[in-house]
Amino acid sequence: MKNFVFHNATKLIFGEGTISKIGEEIKKEGIKKVLLHYGGGSIKKNGVYEQVINSLKENNIEWVEVSGVKPNPRLSKVYEGIKVAKDNNVEGILAVGGGSVIDSAKAIAGGYYYDGDIWDAYSGKYAISKALPLFTVLTLSATGSEMNGNSVITKEETKQKWSTSSKALYPKVSIIDPTVQYTLPTNQTVNGAVDAISHVMEFYFDGTSGNEIQSQLAEGIIRTVINSTEILLENPKDYDARSNLAWSATLALNGLLGAGSSGGDWASHALEHSVSALFDIAHGAGLAIIFPAWLEYVKNENIDRFDRFAKEIFSIDTGNPGIDANLGIQALKEWYKKIGQPISLKEIGAKEEDIERLVENAVQMSPMGKLKKLEEKDIREIYKIAYENKLLFAR
């Protein structure tokens, strides 16, 4: 296990009926006016918007709104949010929604004090050191953005979906009420589950040795996500399953699993960002396609870890190293298919000639990865695997 410092600055309030606390938490920070940032309006249908507004009113918090955030949040919406925030002299930002809304809010928060183009932070030209205080009410568990300093934004004109990270972007307070996720469409629950599993696997497969406690935490989270998702497909209003899935998604990327590791591999996420940027699909669906292809390509870099994954997650133990690894990858793809996810680029309408478009987009971030450094030729081979992504064996 490597040396580490673990510090998470976000206060997280979890449980049924907790949304009403958000105004009080904002007031504690001495903030009197916020930018309320949200998506397409579902929060007005499920009662979340009303709860938030009532809490703001009760605590004498003023607000202005910027709505319309889309999945794979756009830079143009960020620019709009920065302008509104500056024009109205807000003192903080309240993001109400899922990871896309929170990531967009983080970009606005970071751009508020920057005189240049906030895209500079995503293209590596500027490091965010100061941001507006951020508060979140989570309505979709997936990205873990409610308890970390990460943000991913898409620049529409260039189809670049890039990320940034800063300690200044950690939310001050995040609220998770699992009951507001009861009415989520099935595909959003499933996409969130795949996203959470993928975050865990980025750390699990980064090549770090000697961190047994982290391995067991990772395996426990993945098993919990799988079990909770299957329960929710049968009963979307199972409170315990919703709670376990929600907390698992937060733990997957709040820094805990990265402690003592090499920091995660993250090649699969970089490769997927090109997929969702070019084809505008949900991040979770893209990861269901890309991650198994990456696993197949790099498995021989640490075959023992892949054998362990098969055993601990899917109870596969034939006693044949390598065979177990293959079966574990297949089991993951079978589960993704079972819950309705695509596992190949073909399934989302990609053509064989699109592989080069994806390579051209992704190679801008190369070399990438920790377990195996990926150059252009490696990136191309992974996309080729992802194009077909057939099951390895008939079981």
Mean pLDDT to the nearest integer, 21-42 = 96
The whole-number pLDDT of residue 320 equals: 87
Each residue of 86-132: pLDDT tens digit?
A: 999 999 999 999 999 999 999 999 999 999 999 999 999 999 999 99
Look at residue 84 and tell me whether its pLDDT is greater than 80.
yes
Mean pLDDT to the nearest integer, 68-91 = 97
Banded model confidence at residue 392, pLDDT cuts 50, 70, 90: low
Q: Are 12 and 176 within 8 A, CB to CB?
A: yes
Each residue of 144-194: pLDDT tens digit?
A: 999 999 999 999 999 999 999 999 999 999 999 999 999 999 999 999 999
Percent over 70 (pLDDT), the chain: 99
Look at residue 32 and tell me whether its pLDDT is greater than 90.
yes
Q: Between β-strands 62-66 and 92-97, what pairing exists: parallel, antiparallel or unpaired? A: unpaired
Look at residue 394 and tell me whether its pLDDT is greater than 50.
no
Mean pLDDT to the nearest integer, 42-68 = 97
262: tokens are 């090499």
Look at residue 267 and tell me whether its pLDDT is greater than 50.
yes
Banded model confidence at residue 389, pLDDT cuts 50, 70, 90: confident
Q: Are 124 and 165 within 8 A, CB to CB?
A: no
The whole-number pLDDT of residue 393 equals: 54
The whole-number pLDDT of residue 40 equals: 87
The whole-number pLDDT of residue 167 equals: 97
Each residue of 323-341: pLDDT tens digit?
A: 999 999 999 999 999 999 9
Look at residue 391 and tell me whether its pLDDT is greater than 80.
no
Banded model confidence at residue 395, pLDDT cuts 50, 70, 90: very low
CA gap 205, 189 in Å, rounded: 24
Each residue of 231-256: pLDDT tens digit?
A: 999 999 999 999 999 999 999 999 99
Question: What is the spatial order of strands in the sheet that 33-38 belongs to?
Answer: 11-14, 173-176, 134-138, 92-97, 33-38, 62-66
H-helix or E-strand spanning residue 136: strand 134-138
Mean pLDDT to the nearest integer, 364-391 = 94
Look at residue 261 and tell me whether its pLDDT is greater than 50.
yes
For residue 200, give every residue at least 6 positions away whose Cβ sits within 8 Å of its Cβ, in sequence order, or none.
Answer: 218, 221, 222, 225, 252, 257
Q: Are 266 and 367 within 8 A, CB to CB?
A: no
Q: Are 138 and 39 within 8 A, CB to CB?
A: no
Domains, the chain, in order of start with CATH, read 11-180 (3.40.50.1970), 186-388 (1.20.1090.10)
